Structure 1
Amino acid sequence: MRHQIRIGCLLLIAVSLLTGTVQAEPARPNIVLMMADDLGWGDVHCFNPKSPIKTPQLDAMAAAGLQFNRFYSSSPVCSPTRGSCLTGRHPFRYGIYFANKGHLKSEELTLAELLQKHGYATGHFGKWHLGTLTTEMKDANRGKPDNTKEFSPPWKNGFEVCFSTESKVPTWDPMLKPLKDNHNGWDFIEDKSTAVAYGTHYWNEKGEVVRDNLDGDDSRVIMDRAVPFIEKATKDGKPFFTVIWFHAPHLPVVAGPEYAAMYSRYDTYKRNYYGCVTAMDEQVGRLRETLQQAGVAENTMLWFGSDNGALAPGRAPGSVGHFRGGKRSLYEGGVRVSGILEWPARVKAGTQTEFPAVTSDYLPTILDELKVEYTGQRPLDGISLLPVLAGTQTERAQSIGFESQGQLAWTTQQYKLYSKNAGKTWELYNLLSDPSEENNLASAHPEQVAEMSKQLAAWRDSCVRSDQGGDY
């Protein structure tokens, strides 16, 4: 009898497998977060057809996926936005108020830490800017002997493999600068014997300075480390979480001869800015090809964005398009960036959305897809975008809060409340009809200002409680 039951069970299992009634656990997606540095919304051709910059790979990525026409960085400057990408929380909750201010606290939960617990290989490549990378030598902006207070490298925040800098480097020959350097950038250095050290180093996960393969295009130098990481994880059968944060086109901009030649009719500043963006774009294409060849492109969440908008018009060659303001401003030009998601398994090619999304949405979206609960009893500022990807949600219910150097903003699906002086005076814009923020409606709609400012005040109070350690 037992023998007959055993045979019967085996037959049932076999039939179930043949008929598909036993459901295999869905494959977990690979995740890549790419981010440019100071790239303007108007720099990428698919967002701004008038852009003089050649970005064929980003254009192809958008055509193959989803283009976010209202994608926001959580801050108008570098460091705070990077924190939001990894924590799902506004940086004022953990003391990263501005670039080179604060560091990623050990109590914060990062995507790398959360995904590592679920079997993901984790790697960070490029700019970090969330703390120093050494306590033993002078490095970059804040690294120096015995400075332990701000020491918070990626390998202390969940990343197993690292090729990282604390802050900016030149976008060509990243370790070098001319004896008399221009802050904005320069033509590539032909005679390297005339160059001196720039002063920022690349570090690996062991806390060692990396000294090999650092010549030429910095975006390629970064991708030379990211590609083997992805290939190894794929070979090992592990899903991967890869953060690739390019330095381009943050100053100083330097384009190699091939890329500068594409823009020879422009002045030095423009040809180096434009050229380094095209060089970065080339590496985006290289990454997409790597994913295809590895057979994992179908189920890889491939994100692209920028940490903030371009410098304000007239200060740099970057473009904010028709938007107002630029880097360091909470007007749209400072925080509206080029957001793209390519994910063939879940996203229909050639789609666009006007849904307002923000860098804080990465974490909730990824955890939602993995059916992983957020383990921290603390507020998140982002939301899951899966309903947006599925086409079941077209309007954002949860507002997006911003704060930076006395500026405040509260953005809803339709309206944006803005203050340049910590709430002493207010401006109100209808972003659906006036995305360029030309018509201040505050005096015409005082009730809207009152309600939105009340919501903003409550959110700021929550951020203060978090920053004072209330979440830990």
Structure 2
Amino acid sequence: MDDLNDWIGCLGGHPQTITPNLDRLAASGVLFTNAHCPAPACNPCRSAVFTGRAPNRSGLYDNRQQMREVMPDEVILPQYMRNHGYHASGSGKLLHYFIDAASWDEYFPKAESENPFPQTFYPSQRPVSLERGGPWQYVETDWAALDVTDEEFGGDWAVSQWIGEQLQQKHEQPFFLGCGIYRPHEPWFVPKKYFEPFPLDSIQLPPGYLENDLDDVPSIGQRAARNRYFAHIQKQDQWKQGIQGYLASIHFADAMLGRVLDALESGPNADNTIVVLWSDHGWQLGEKEHWQKYTPWRGVTRIPLMIRVPKTPSPSLPNGTPIGVRCDAPVNLLSLFPTLLDLCQLPPNPVNDGPSLLPLLKEPNTVTWKHNSVTYLSQPGAYAVSGRTHRYIHYQDGSEELYNIQADPYEWNNLATTPDAAEHLAQFRSASPTNFAKRIEPSVKSLAKLTFRTIPEEGVPASKPDGNQFPVHFINQQRDQVELCWIDAKAKPRSYGLIQPGQTKTQSTRPGAVWMVKEADGDKQLGYFRIGDRTAQAVIPASKPNVVIILTDDQGWADLSCQNEVDDIRTPHIDGLAARGVRCTNAYVTSPQCSPSRAGLITGRYQQRFGIDTIPDMPLPTDAATIAEHLQPQGYKTGFVGKWHLEPNVTCIDWMHRELPAMAGKPRRQVRIPWIKIQPYSPAQQGFDEYYWGAMTNYRTNFDLASGDLLPQMKQIHDKRFRIDIQTNAAVNFIQRNHDQPFYLQLNYYGPHTPLEATQKYLDRFPGPMPERRRYALAMLSAIDDGVGQIVDQLKADGLLDNTLIVMTSDNGAPLKMTKPDSSINGDAGGWDGSLNDPWVGEKGMLSEGGIRVPMIWSLPTQLPSGITYDWPVSTLDIAPSVLKLAGGELPSGEAALDGIDLIPRLNDIQNPSTRTLYFRFWDQAAIRRGKWKYIFVGDGRRFLFDLESDQHENRNLAEDYPELADKLHANLAAWTSELTPKGMPQGKKMREQAWYDFYFEEADPVN
């Protein structure tokens, strides 16, 4: 568990706590009442537990360090078990915000994501209860009772569900199973039913709180205690509310533990499974004027630890652990690694620093245990030592504290300066650690990136520094030198020198400080940073990053090598893009059809706000503002290449009734739409300065590919070359001509959409037996991949790659035609396009995942991390607001407000973001995705509820299992459709998708 102190029933930390499952586990084994963490913070504690290495030996002392930078080759516990015949699987937060995929056989969420957090419901508007006190405040310090069910909340519920499923199975080999329950870690958001047993007016303050408790604490300890949080919480009159939130979160975590214990005890592994429960450290809620962890006192270092060993599974302990026994000996979590090796009779790990607890498991009340427990603080030389009767604290400046924990369990009376303390002090000093590994600082590239903000009209805000200093690394990605200025409390700039292009200047600063960047040889202010609560990178990007949006056509989710789903695809250049950026694994379009999907992307708004549900509802209205139209006033040169598909076409009956009534009643093959009617809806009239508009062989353009020159007017050309290569050439041509100014390029490849075609060059890359349509799709995607490579090479040649946002995605899933028939390439122009949607269910035209989940990659090296996956839902709607914010523009408000969000800050943060809801409506289907849950309503009355984190995803309909959640999502979806044009939920009048739903969801019969 995470951040759980002694506020559990069996430890008696708070009289109001409700922990029946922790208590029943303690009653079934050995409860260690004097157990302590190796470090009072998540990262150093968990790293120490899983490596068996103490912080003073490893050099890993705090949360800002990276475990694999400090200990790149250390074998952690699950890997050690694997090396000796165990199957290692885990779920949730076990290490600190990463998984260490190579150390596990199986993980939930998927290990390759390196993101241990399942989808969790967080409020959309934050903070909820505790106002931010300033940039120093951790964003997660907040609490709220959420009106959601356990399953809708997700998070630890999903972890306990997955762990329970593993425990219900029989296993062919012994297993190591790690269950990381995140609560009661902040934020204290849990379903409201867990708040209900704790009425606010009955909340009791912490038993360990004593006013003026810091009077006898050395000044260095006082500074560590007074970290602004508690004073801010008191000022906001939120102390009892915070205690309520913590108690509720403990109650929730205990319930999730109960689910795990129930699954174990009712399954086939109950009599052969060792159970170890521990928390990484405790938490103070006002004691010694402190709110958080990180301190040396018992409220933080003392943690729950319980071990249950059944009879017979361990020859080292053949009778199992005694039942319901308390052990008061001082122990440390560093002992868990060697203890498990002893219990499993595995070879000892020579690097383990802690003693095995096996002697105490045999005789919990033995007096022969001579070990004290050491907790290491964030600075080498600072530590706390816990003994049987006393505790000793030593700070890096030599200051000391001593407490008699038998007579003074809350450490109210520091005995270090009293005459009677000499003997105890001498004993602790003589046995205290003397060697401390050098603290290994995190690499700059591993740090979070601060947001580079545009200068507001009212000018740069003043600094409001508050808190301790730490380093921030200012990295200049501008082409010229820049001047770095600190903004004082009166908003006046003070120069701190120049930063040369490509250079880094490390500056000591404080939370709330504002640093402005200006031209070195002028007065122009380029932007500013507001310092947060920790060390970070502050990348100064070249002004107004370039933007390249690459949109493929009908490309399924599986068809990138980096998706690791199929082994016949080869996309090395796009994979390189992912390695330099963020791969979004839960990316969605707004429609499973080309035109409406493109309308949503290019406007950043649900296309139904313009009355567009499907292709016949086109064209995109001329008053719908596109990304290009937003960027032109920001000084961007805008370019479009490829398939537009937002203009009127022969299916647009309503539009023709208005604009061409003479054509409205004719068969489609006889309909002719004159250019004068198309022109207002063309890229040229929708914000694009330059365009090479076309899909197959016919193009309208205002620049010449051969010469690279702009043309005096639009020209219509016919080019019989391979369409993908033509579109790549046009894109590169645009970049070559506009590399000396900010530009936005929208490149809409017409592939692998049918009709399929490819040159022999690309077909030859995929020999061997396979469906011919698959071969052509692979060839077309390979051509697109080559095109991405050429674009990247051109950006490199122009020195623009690091400061160019490249987003690569598809407009919808692949059309599989249900059975993926391998019909003749030339004889079936509208068949399967050869692409694959694996592992998702369904295809183009459906609101199942196969129709709307798409590949998506974001790369902007100066402002985004590299080589990571982002596993929370994102949408093509997010492209517009993200680009506008990067360009320095303001997002539209009111009726023109965008439906997407600025993704740049989210892609820089691995922790759970606020839960967002994505909506969909197409033909006679409507769907909603919230967190890990997705609900689909079909016009014939069928209802589907899916857990998208489950391996079964849309292969298992859970609507009858969770009817309350299904009803709630249905109501939310209906409310959204009431805002659209036309209004309302699908009525099933045409049911063009019925055959698909009958095929893919056979178990669900139509209701009507």
TM-score by length of 1: 0.82
Q: How far apart, in 1, do the equivalents of 2:636 and 2:595 lie?
A: 25
For residues 112-136 of structure 1, give each alpha carbon's deviation from its aligned partner in whole angstroms, at most 9, with x where no partner exists. Answer: 0010011000000000000149999
> After the TM superposition, which residues 368-379 of structure 1 pair with which residues of structure 2 at under 5 Å, given as runs?
368-375=885-892, 377-378=894-895, 379=897
User: Which amino acid in the other structure matches residue 41 of structure 1?
Assistant: W
Q: How far apart, in 1, do the equivalents of 2:570 and 2:916 lie?
A: 36
Alignment of 1:107 onto 2:623:
yes
> After the TM superposition, which residues 113-192 of structure 1 pair with which residues of structure 2 at under 5 Å, given as runs?
113-132=629-648, 144-145=673-674, 148=677, 152-165=681-694, 168-169=695-696, 175=697
Structure 1 pair 147/452, CA: closer, same or farther in 2 (3 Å)? farther
Check conservation: 1:132, 1:153, Cα contact below 8 A: no
Structure 1 pair 419/466, CA: closer, same or farther in 2 (3 Å)? closer
1:305: how far off? 0.3
The answer for unaligned runs of 5 or more in structure 2 is 1-491, 500-514, 519-525, 528-542, 651-658, 661-667, 703-712, 821-831, 985-1008
Q: How far apart, in 2, do the equivalents of 1:262 and 1:100 lie?
A: 38
Q: How far apart, in 1, do the equivalents of 2:981 and 2:616 lie?
A: 20
Residue in structure 2 matched with residue 318 of structure 1 by the alignment: 835
Residue in structure 2 matched with residue 277 of structure 1 by the alignment: 781
Q: How far apart, in 2, do the equivalents of 1:103 and 1:133 lie?
A: 8
Range moving further from structure 2, 299-308 or 42-51: 42-51
User: Which amino acid in the other structure matches residue 968 of structure 2?
Assistant: E
Range moving further from structure 2, 256-265 or 21-30: 21-30
> After the TM superposition, which residues 266-345 of structure 1 pair with which residues of structure 2 at under 5 Å, given as runs?
266-312=770-816, 314-315=819-820, 316=832, 317-345=834-862
Check conservation: 2:803, 2:862, Cα contact below 8 A: yes
Structure 1 pair 14/318, CA: closer, same or farther in 2 (3 Å)? closer
Q: How far apart, in 2, do the equivalents of 1:36 and 1:142 lie?
A: 28
1:432: how far off? 1.6
> After the TM superposition, which residues 47-446 of structure 1 pair with which residues of structure 2 at under 5 Å, given as runs?
47-132=563-648, 144-145=673-674, 148=677, 152-165=681-694, 168-169=695-696, 175=697, 201-205=698-702, 206-211=713-718, 214-235=719-740, 238-265=741-768, 266-312=770-816, 314-315=819-820, 316=832, 317-375=834-892, 377-378=894-895, 379-391=897-909, 394-421=912-939, 424-434=941-951, 436-446=953-963
Paired residues in the alignment total 416
User: Which amino acid in the other structure matches residue 716 of structure 2?
Assistant: V
Residue in structure 2 matched with residue 470 of structure 1 by the alignment: none
Q: How far apart, in 1, do the equivalents of 2:735 and 2:565 lie?
A: 32
User: Which amino acid in the other structure matches residue 60 of structure 1?
Assistant: G
- Aligned to 1:347, the other structure's residue is in SS state coil
For residues 187-245 of structure 1, give each alpha carbon's deviation from its aligned partner in whole angstroms, at most 9, with x where no partner exists. Answer: xxxxxxxxxxxxxx21125443123xx3433122112111121122223xx20010000
Which structure has the greater CA radius of gyration? Answer: 2
- Aligned to 1:36, the other structure's residue is in SS state strand
1:99: how far off? 3.0
Check conservation: 1:94, 1:466, Cα contact below 8 A: no
The answer for unaligned runs of 5 or more in structure 1 is 1-12, 170-174, 176-200, 468-472
Check conservation: 1:95, 1:103, Cα contact below 8 A: no
Match of 2:517 among 14, 23, 46: 23
Check conservation: 1:43, 1:51, Cα contact below 8 A: no
Q: How far apart, in 2, do the equivalents of 1:43 and 1:116 lie?
A: 34
TM-score by length of 2: 0.39
Structure 1 pair 325/49, CA: closer, same or farther in 2 (3 Å)? closer
1:95: how far off? 2.5
Check conservation: 1:133, 1:153, Cα contact below 8 A: no
Q: How far apart, in 2, do the equivalents of 1:395 and 1:260 lie?
A: 43
Residue in structure 2 matched with residue 447 of structure 1 by the alignment: 964
Range moving further from structure 2, 382-391 or 406-415: 382-391
Check conservation: 1:132, 1:143, Cα contact below 8 A: no
Check conservation: 2:634, 2:887, Cα contact below 8 A: no
The percent of aligned pairs where both chains have the same amino acid is 29
1:420: how far off? 2.0
Q: How far apart, in 2, do the equivalents of 1:267 and 1:445 lie?
A: 41
User: Which amino acid in the other structure matches residue 765 of structure 2?
Assistant: M
- Aligned to 1:41, the other structure's residue is in SS state coil
Say what the alpha-carbon RMSD is for the aligned residues. Answer: 2.8
For residues 6-64 of structure 1, give each alpha carbon's deviation from its aligned partner in whole angstroms, at most 9, with x where no partner exists. Answer: xxxxxxx9994845776221511111110110001111111134231221111111112
Structure 1 pair 142/380, CA: closer, same or farther in 2 (3 Å)? farther
For residues 317-350 of structure 1, give each alpha carbon's deviation from its aligned partner in whole angstroms, at most 9, with x where no partner exists. Answer: 2111111001111100111111001111012221
Range moving further from structure 2, 33-42 or 146-155: 146-155
1:151: how far off? 5.1
Q: How far apart, in 2, do the equivalents of 1:228 and 1:146 lie?
A: 26
Residue in structure 2 matched with residue 179 of structure 1 by the alignment: none
Check conservation: 2:865, 2:908, Cα contact below 8 A: no
User: Which amino acid in the other structure matches residue 365 of structure 1?
Assistant: S
Check conservation: 2:842, 2:849, Cα contact below 8 A: yes
Check conservation: 2:611, 2:981, Cα contact below 8 A: no
- Aligned to 1:106, the other structure's residue is in SS state coil
Q: How far apart, in 1, do the equivalents of 2:845 and 2:676 lie?
A: 27
Structure 1 pair 141/394, CA: closer, same or farther in 2 (3 Å)? farther
Q: How far apart, in 2, do the equivalents of 1:430 and 1:37 lie?
A: 28
| Bigger relative contact order (CA 8 A; separation at least 6) | 1
User: Which amino acid in the other structure matches residue 412 of structure 1?
Assistant: R
Structure 1 pair 392/52, CA: closer, same or farther in 2 (3 Å)? closer
Check conservation: 1:121, 1:239, Cα contact below 8 A: yes
- Aligned to 1:248, the other structure's residue is in SS state strand
For residues 367-406 of structure 1, give each alpha carbon's deviation from its aligned partner in whole angstroms, at most 9, with x where no partner exists. Answer: 2333422235324321111221221653352200001111
User: Which amino acid in the other structure matches residue 309 of structure 1?
Assistant: G
Q: How far apart, in 2, do the equivalents of 1:15 and 1:59 lie?
A: 44
